[in-house]
Amino acid sequence: MRIFGLPVIGILVAAIVVFFIGFVWYGLLFDQLWMQGYNLTEADYEGNSPWWMAGGFVISIAIAKAIAFVLKWNDWPDMGRAVYMAGMLGLVLGGAIAGYGYVWMPDHNLTLFLIDWGHMIITWAAAAVVLTLLKKV
């Protein structure tokens, strides 16, 4: 099934991959650094509604859909080109987005900036892999 010429199944699978990478990135690899950077503790998350996780998945869908549009606008390039394009978007656009936190937060935390920026580069490139594999589904 396609909507606006985009593979719906590919977008959903890419969103799952983006969401899972986010879990590994922020929940396992950089959880302590990220929480310390924002002065958060596990207790700060107690009682937090699980609906916020659903909101995170909606953001993952938006990311996958945006990468799909970029790939479609470029005539669905081959895998190498697709990953390169999404990686470059992560490098340039992701850096600009992550830069807001770095610039506007009072402590200008370079570690948080690099964690968030790296996450964008990796997840956007991973979305391109999935979307390229499933572009015809």
Q: How confident is the model at residue 49 (pLDDT cuts 50, 70, 90)?
A: confident
Task: Count other C-beta atoms under 10 Å from residue 44's C-beta.
Answer: 11
For residues 103, 106, 107, 108, the Cα torsion angle rounded to the nearest 10 degrees is 0
**Closest Cα to residue 90, out of 66, 70, 119?**
119
- For the segment 89-116, what is each residue's pLDDT rounded down to a tens digit? 999 999 999 999 899 988 899 999 999 9
Share of the chain above pLDDT 90, in %: 79
Cα–Cα distance for residue pair 43/120, rounded to 1 Å: 27
What's the CA dihedral at 84, 86, 90, 94 to 10 degrees? 150
Predicted pLDDT at 107: 87
User: Given this model, what pLDDT does residue 117 score?
Assistant: 97
DSSP state of 26: I
Region 41-69 average pLDDT: 91
**What is the C-alpha separation between 46 and 26, in angstroms, rounded?**
17
Mean pLDDT, rounded, for 64-79: 96
What are the pLDDT digits (tens) for 112-136? 999 999 999 999 999 999 999 999 8
pTM of the model: 0.91
